[in-house]
Structure 1
Amino acid sequence: MKTNPTPTLDILTAASTFAALGSEQRLEVLRSLVRAGPNGVSIGTLGERSGVTGSTLTHHLKILTQAGLVTQKKQGRSIICAAAAYSEMKKLADYLLRECCADCPDTTHEHDHD
């Protein structure tokens, strides 16, 4: 039975996504969402947990959403944010690790990154 390999990122997409994480506040927002799990949290709760609030939080969420790392959905009068893009984060990690040690002269050692 054949399985489809996880699609790999090209360098431009990877660079763009890593750039979205290039802020301590954005990284903290994403970390808070990852900790919240797939159901996500309201923007108010996210602000409390991440320490980023108001227009600054809105700005960072826009960047993370455009990078495909965060989703937002309206639920009643609240907006629920989630780090539902776990597959995107896995692609980023795979991008860094897929050629692990390719240029090392000693290819007999094991690589424990799966």
Structure 2
Amino acid sequence: PLYEEMLITCHEIESGVGEARAYERFGERCGLHRYRKFCSLLVQNLRKGTRGLVQLLEQEVSDAFEERKNLAKKSGEEAGTKMLFPMMMMFGIIIVIIMVPAFLSLQ
């Protein structure tokens, strides 16, 4: 889990590994693009003293939120498509339940 990776990174920094190197390792261990990008922003700030780190991190947050929102939207669309056949089956069953007594009452 992420918490354990963060603890490992803290222990590396406390044991004398450079902060930038510890963040790079953290990104490598996590393996996810978002965490690697986050770590590269931190490393860049440590090495070059980048101005506007807060704005860059806020931009990352909004990008991650948009990506997550798009993923949820896509999952919802896929779920709707998957439910089409079962809904049609239920519709057919309901039609049969309504029509059979109607036809039987006509005879």
User: What TM-score, normalized to structure 2?
Assistant: 0.33
User: What TM-score, normalized to structure 1?
Assistant: 0.32
Larger radius of gyration: 2
Structure with the higher helix share, 1 or 2: 2
**Larger relative contact order (Cα-Cα within 8 Å, sequence gap ≥ 6):** 1
Structure with the higher strand share, 1 or 2: 1
